Each structure stands twice: as structure tokens, then as C-alpha cells.
Amino acid sequence: MTDTAVNAEAQAPIFQIQRVYLKEASLEQPNSPGILLDQQQPSVDIQLGVEATPVAEGVFEVCVTATVHTKIGDKTVFLVECKQGGIFEIRNLPDDQMGPIMGIACPQIVYPYLRGNVADLINRAGFPPVHMAEINFQAMFEAQQAQQASSLAQ
């Protein structure tokens, strides 16, 4: 191999999943058992968050967090908080591609695991599963970028 071929191979972009894991999970039913007898349909509020953290040179942890809060009136039926993590090796990518990789590609890989864990936790608590919708992480990322740009402009 020539020096140029070795150099090109060393600079080839790398994107690999090292591991996907459940980082945190909590379930609260503060008004059980009384609220379980209430026949009203609860309201459901689902909040999502994405965070990316460098772990080592070229290795990043990307976490997607879901908070599912169901209430009847002002009383909580259940509150589930779940954080699904993924460790990714990402090397030799231009800086302008790192944001979309960490804000779109990685969360898209981690999110299905999060959905399954949330549904399982709610089901094990004795409730019908809450089905979290598919998420357009590209739209979410672009909205965050626009929000950051407008707050910097002010």
C-alpha cells in the first residue's frame, strides 16, 4: 500500500454503534390504588429530549429521554421517566456533520428501544401501553437549531 492509500484509509469516516442500553427508568403511581378505580379517561402528556456527550476521543453517548405523565383532573395516574442511551464511535467526519449525526441519526437508532421500554414499563405497572409515535428527529433538530439561532440573534 502506498502512503496515500494508508492515509486515505486512516481518514475514512467511521460511524459505529458500540452499545444501546437502558440508562434510567422510573415509575410512580402516587395516587394508587384509589385512582385505579376512577373510570375517567386520563390525559397523557409525553415530553422528549435528546442529549449528546463526548465519552472519549471519537466516542459519544447519545441519550433520548421520555417523560410520560398521565392525569385524571389534577391527580397523577402514573408518571414514567425513561432514558435510553447509545454509545457511538464517530470519527473523521466534518464538524458541520457532527450536529446532524448526533441530533438526528443517533436518536433515530436509540428511540425504538426507548419506545419499547416505556411501553413495557407501563404495561408491567398494570396499565394499557402508551404508544409513543414515530418522531421526525430531523424536524426536531432543525427546530432546535432555529431556536438557538434566534436566541443568539437577540
Tell me, yes or no, whether 72 lies in a domain: yes
Query: Whole-angstrom Cα distance, residue 66 to residue 117?
Result: 10
For residue 129, whether the previous peptide bond is cis, meaning omega lies within 30 degrees of 0, is no
3-state secondary structure of 118: helix
Tell me, yes or no, whether 61 lies in a domain: yes
- Say how many CA atoms lie within 13 Å of 53 toward its Cβ: 7
Please state the pTM of the whole predicted model: 0.85
Tell me, yes or no, whether 39 lies in a domain: yes
Tell me, yes or no, whether 1 lies in a domain: no
Tell me, yes or no, whether 94 lies in a domain: yes
State the amino acid at position 51 in one-letter form: E
Nearest partner of 118 among 50, 30, 22, 44, judged by Cα: 22
Question: What CATH number is given to the structural domain containing 96?
Answer: 3.10.420.10
- Going by pLDDT thresholds of 50, 70 and 90, the confidence category of residue 1 is low
C-alpha cell read off for 50 = 435528546
Q: How many domains does the chain have?
A: 1
pLDDT value of residue 149: 81
Tell me, yes or no, whether 47 lies in a domain: yes
Per-residue pLDDT reduced to its tens digit, 132-141? 888 899 998 8
Q: CA torsion, points 147, 149, 150, 154, in degrees to nearest 10? A: 140
Q: Domain range holding 130?
A: 14-135
Tell me, yes or no, whether 140 lies in a domain: no
State the amino acid at position 86 in one-letter form: G
Query: What percentage of residues in the chain have a pLDDT greater than 90?
Result: 65
Mean pLDDT over 62-72 rounds to: 96
Tell me, yes or no, whether 28 lies in a domain: yes
Query: Whole-angstrom Cα distance, residue 63 to residue 145?
Result: 18
